[in-house]
Amino acid sequence: MQNLKKSVEIIGLTSNEAKLLQERYGKNNIVPEKKENFIVKILEVLREPMFLLLLVAAMIYFVLGEPRDGIVMLIFVVAVITIDVVQEWKTDETLKALRDLSAPQVTVIRDGVETDIVSEDLVPGDFVIISEGVKVPADGYIIKANDLCIDESSLTGEPINVWKDVITNSNDEYLKKNYCYAGTLVTQGSGVIKVDKIGVETEYGKIGKSVSETQEKITPLKKQVAVLVKVCAYIAVFLFMLVVIITYMNLIECNFKDRLIESILSAITLAMAMIPEEFPVILTVVLSMGAWRLAKKNSLVKKLPSVETLGAVSVLCVDKTGTITMNKMKVKDIWTLNTDIEDFNKAMGMACEIDPYDPMEQAMIEYCERNHITKDMLFSGTLVKEYSFTNESKMMGHVWKKHRHIIIAAKGSPERIMALCNLDNKVRKSVSSKMREMSKRGLRVIAVAKMIIENESDIPKNLEGCSLDFLGLVALQDPPRDTVKEDIKNCANAGIKVVMITGDNGMTASAIAKEVGIAGNENIITGEMIDKLSDEELKEKVKGVSIFSRVIPEHKRRIVKAFQDNGEIVAMTGDGVNDAAALKKADIGIAMGKRGSEVSREAADLVLLDDNFSTIVYTVKDGRRIYDNIKKAIGYVFTIHIPIALSSLLAPLLDISSNQLLLLPVHIVLLELIIDPTCSIVFERQPAEDSIMERTPRNSSENILTAKLLFKSIVQGIVLFIASFGIYYIYLMRYNAPVEVARSMAILIIMISNLLLVQVNSSNTEYAYKSFIKLRKDKVIWSVIVITIASIVILFYTPISLILKLAPLTISEVVIALVISIFSIMWYEIIKFIKNR
Interface positions with ligand ADP (CB under 6 A): 319-321, 358, 360-361, 389, 391, 394-396, 411-413, 444, 446, 502-505
Per partner kind, with CB cut-offs from 5 to 8 A, the member of ligand ADP, Mg ion, none near residue 767 is none
What is the closest distance, in whole angstroms, from the C-beta atom of residue 502 to ligand ADP in the complex? 4
Q: What are phi and psi of 195, to 5 degrees?
A: -65, 130
Which CB atom, from 439 or from 648, has the smaller least distance to ligand ADP? Answer: 439
Complete DSSP assignment for 594-651:
TT--HHHHHH-SEEETT--HHHHHHHHHHHHHHHHHHHHHHHHHHHHHHHHHHHHHHH
Instruction: Provide Rg for the chain, Cα atoms.
Output: 34
Q: Which does residue 349 touch among ligand ADP, Mg ion, none (CB within 5 to 8 A, set by kind)?
A: none
List the one residue from 321, 345, 508, 753 that touches Mg ion (CB under 5 A): 321
Contacts of 374 (CB under 8 A, 6+ apart): 368
* Integer angstrom CA distances of residue 377 from 147, 452, 640: 27, 17, 78
Taking a C-beta distance cutoff of 8 angstroms, is the pair 205, 119 a contact? no
Minimum CB–partner distance for residue 395 and ligand ADP (Å) = 5
C-alpha to C-alpha distance for 91 and 286, rounded to whole angstroms: 10
Asked whether the beta carbons of 117 and 108 are under 8 A apart, the reply is yes
Instruction: Give the integer Cα–Cα distance in Å for 269 and 148.
Output: 69
CB of 412 to ligand ADP, least distance (A): 4
How does 570-593 read in b/e, with b if 16+ C-beta sit within 10 Å?
Answer: bbbbbbbbbbbbbbbbbbbbbbbb
Partner in contact with 360, chosen from ligand ADP, Mg ion, none, beta carbon below 5 to 8 Å by kind: ligand ADP
Residue pair 117/126 in contact by the 8 Å Cβ criterion = no
With respect to Mg ion, which residue has the nearer C-beta, 349 or 503? 503
Question: Whose CB is nearest to ligand ADP?
Answer: 503
Q: Which does 358 bind (CB under 5 to 8 A by kind): ligand ADP, Mg ion, none?
A: ligand ADP
Decide whether 535 or 610 has the Cβ nearer to Mg ion. Answer: 610
Site string for Mg ion, 345-364 (x = CB under 5 A): --------------------
Q: What's the rounded Cα separation, in Å, for the pair 152 and 135?
A: 10
**Residue 396 site contact among ligand ADP, Mg ion, none (CB < 5 to 8 Å, cut-off depends on kind):** ligand ADP
Choose one: 104-112, 161-169, 264-272, 316-324; the region binding Mg ion (CB under 5 A).
Answer: 316-324
Stretch that binds Mg ion, among 14-22, 315-323, 513-521, 595-603 (CB under 5 A): 315-323
Residue span binding Mg ion (CB under 5 A) among the ranges 153-161, 318-326, 541-549, 598-606: 318-326
- Which of 447/494 has CB closer to ligand ADP? 447
Q: Closest separation between CB of residue 593 and ligand ADP, Å?
A: 17
Shortest separation between residue 344's beta carbon and ligand ADP, angstroms: 15
Min dist CB 549 to ligand ADP, Å, is 9
Binding of residue 573 to Mg ion (CB under 5 A):
no
3-state helix, strand, coil in the chain (%, to 5): 55, 15, 30
We find the least distance from the C-beta atom of residue 357 to ligand ADP, in angstroms, to be 10
CB of 770 to ligand ADP, least distance (A): 42
Query: Residue 591's closest CA among 814, 280, 323, 195?
Result: 323
Report in angstroms how near the CB of residue 516 gets to Mg ion at its nearest: 18
Residue with smaller CB distance to Mg ion, 276 or 359: 359
From 50-58, 144-152, 250-258, 321-329, give the range in contact with Mg ion by CB under 5 A. Answer: 321-329
Question: By three-state DSSP, how is residue 190 classified?
Answer: strand
Within 8 A by CB and 6+ apart from 430, the residues are: none
Nearer to ligand ADP, 196 or 515 (CB): 515
Compute the least distance from the CB of residue 575 to Mg ion, in Å.
Answer: 8
Taking the least distance from each CB to ligand ADP, the nearer of 126 and 361 is 361
Cβ closest to Mg ion, residue 321 vs residue 639: 321
Kind of pairing, strands 299-301 and 139-151? unpaired
**Could you say which DSSP state residue 687 is in?**
P
Which ranges in 275-321 belong to alpha helices (H)? 278-296, 306-310
Give contact residues for Mg ion (rule: CB under 5 A). Answer: 321
